Amino acid sequence: MAFAGTTNEDLTGNVGLLDKERIVARPGFNRWLVPPAALAIHLCIGMAYGFSVFWLPLSKALPGATDPSCSSLNLLSALVTTTCNWRVADLGWIYTLFFVLLGCSAAIWGGWLERVGPRKAGFVSACCWCGGILVAALGVLTHQLWLMWIGAGVIGGVGLGLGYISPVSTLIKWFPDRRGMATGMAIMGFGGGAMIGAPLANLLMNYFKTDTSIGVWQTFIVMAVIYFGFMMGGAFGYRIPPAGWRPEGWTPPASKSTMITHKHVHLRNAHKTPQFWLIWAVLCLNVSAGIGVIGMASPMLQEIFAGSLIGLPDLSFSQLDAAQKAQIATIAAGFAGLLSLFNIGGRFFWASLSDRIGRKNTYYTFFVLGIVLYALAPTLADMGSKALFVLAFGVILSMYGGGFATIPAYLADIFGTQFVGAIHGRLLTAWATAGIVGPVVVNYIREAQIAAGVAPGPALYTGTMYILAGMLALGLVANALVRPLSDKWFMSDEEVASLQAKSVAASIGPSGSFGIGKGGLDGKAALAWAVVGIPLLWGVWVTLKSTFALLG
């Protein structure tokens, strides 16, 4: 069956395998196949969060390195040395490059993605992410840090940006009835990628490890091959709905909120509106506070609760010996793992809830509840209530993840769906900014407190908590100022129709389902979900097992 006035040959005969026109869905296609395709890509690129699993092994890549000059190694000489071990701080720059390049590439190539479609963007993302890991493997093999920076950090970072935004516009168009839930499912995968990748990397490194090799370059190669297969499956699983499509039996409800538009803003105009920069501030401030907590979660728990973590409540952190500090560091690692589960769960929960209460109200919840929890944190610490303290920060981290997952739907509500992927890409510069602001503010305050003579303990973090609450208060104000756009910013119907022409708008006629999107969780969809769901469940199980072993 083909659309009226067209044949299958008309749609694909002169179109390349990666072209946007090739992936316009046909009658009989099930829209529930698209979220697992997006997850297949996000679960792979999400390993960026787990790359720190390689730092300690790589810092011991040359077990016999005894060159006296290694003691005076600086960053520039570390990039080219073949005789000295790398320092963890030098390796950590790869992590920084990941997220700087993610934000930059998403902003630069978001418009290109909208033109060429998600399949080509997913294909390029797979080539960059997996190709970058292979270049990094060569860097490990030849002991050249600059190759690792370029490979994993720069090339891989471009792959991260393209892969991250590749499904956003597509999912929002497939699920106009549940925008938040759809983007929440995909972006949950980015948060969950490290839960699969980090334990997998440990298994592989232990398998390949020998007396002369730490097993990292071999692990990089195997993971690049596995990820390439999954990401290609995701890229080729993408389909886009034809212009005018909507779910069968669903009609856009009479808008109960002026915050949701059915019109579209062009990419070239989105950043000229105050609404773009207000939402930019909303994301930046929410992420800055959350990322600050992530960065200090482990030392914070150790210094606040100290001996009470190991049944010695009378001992402060400074009174613990080396063996006891090692014990509580292990427990703090379990705390960090538990926070990652809240981060992931929050991405789906809050984004889905936003479909019911609205995006603006969801962010009101993030900011108001976040301010209360940050302000209460010093009190909970003084009370010595570990359970309430951990729960409070779990909720905070769930809202951190929820902020990422809710923002694409917020943008679609305000700017329409035509360029939402590209607009989202530009907005991710807020993430790159927050990645600098959050940790710098938190670390500076902590160091200033120590310099002022504050001993490790609850008092060391009291000022930090209040400043993070202040960041959220600013975010609350920015969110309150977001208003619907005036009509002058929206494209005309003729301009929208011209942009949508390549998705065979002219041959379809009036809006409708066209027999597309039906099926629910049929056999094919169930298989696709199993392919991504089983690894994700394995990652959750491994994390829970280690967390309860550490905290129990």
**pLDDT tens digits, one per residue of 424-451:** 999 999 988 887 788 777 777 777 877 8
**Three-class secondary structure of residue 512 per DSSP:** strand
pLDDT of residue 5: 36
Domains of the chain: 30-65+77-245+519-551 (1.20.1250.20), 280-484 (1.20.1250.20)
Provide the 10 A C-beta neighbour count for residue 108.
Answer: 15
pLDDT of residue 254: 65
Euclidean distance between CA atoms 503 and 493, whole angstroms:
16
Token pair of 508 as six digits: 């379809």
Find, among 448, 446, 443, 469, the residue nearest to 458 by Cα: 446
Which residue do the tokens 């992530």 mark? 294
By the 10 Å C-beta count (0-12 exposed, 13-18 middle, 19+ buried), 265 is classed as: buried
Low-confidence ranges of the chain (pLDDT < 70): 1-15, 64-69, 254-258, 295-298, 333, 456-457, 501-511, 549-552
pLDDT of residue 8: 41
Measured between alpha carbons, how far is residue 531 from residues 187, 237, 346, 536 in Å?
A: 17, 12, 22, 9
pLDDT of residue 504: 47
DSSP string, 401-457: HHHHHHHHHHHHHHH-STTHHHHHHHHTHHHHHHHHHHHHHHHHHHHHHHHTTPPSS
Euclidean distance between CA atoms 472 and 351, whole angstroms:
19
Q: What's the pTM?
A: 0.85
Q: What is the DSSP letter of 488?
A: G
pLDDT of residue 7: 39
Euclidean distance between CA atoms 51 and 198, whole angstroms:
7
pLDDT of residue 550: 57
Provide the 10 A C-beta neighbour count for residue 527.
Answer: 11
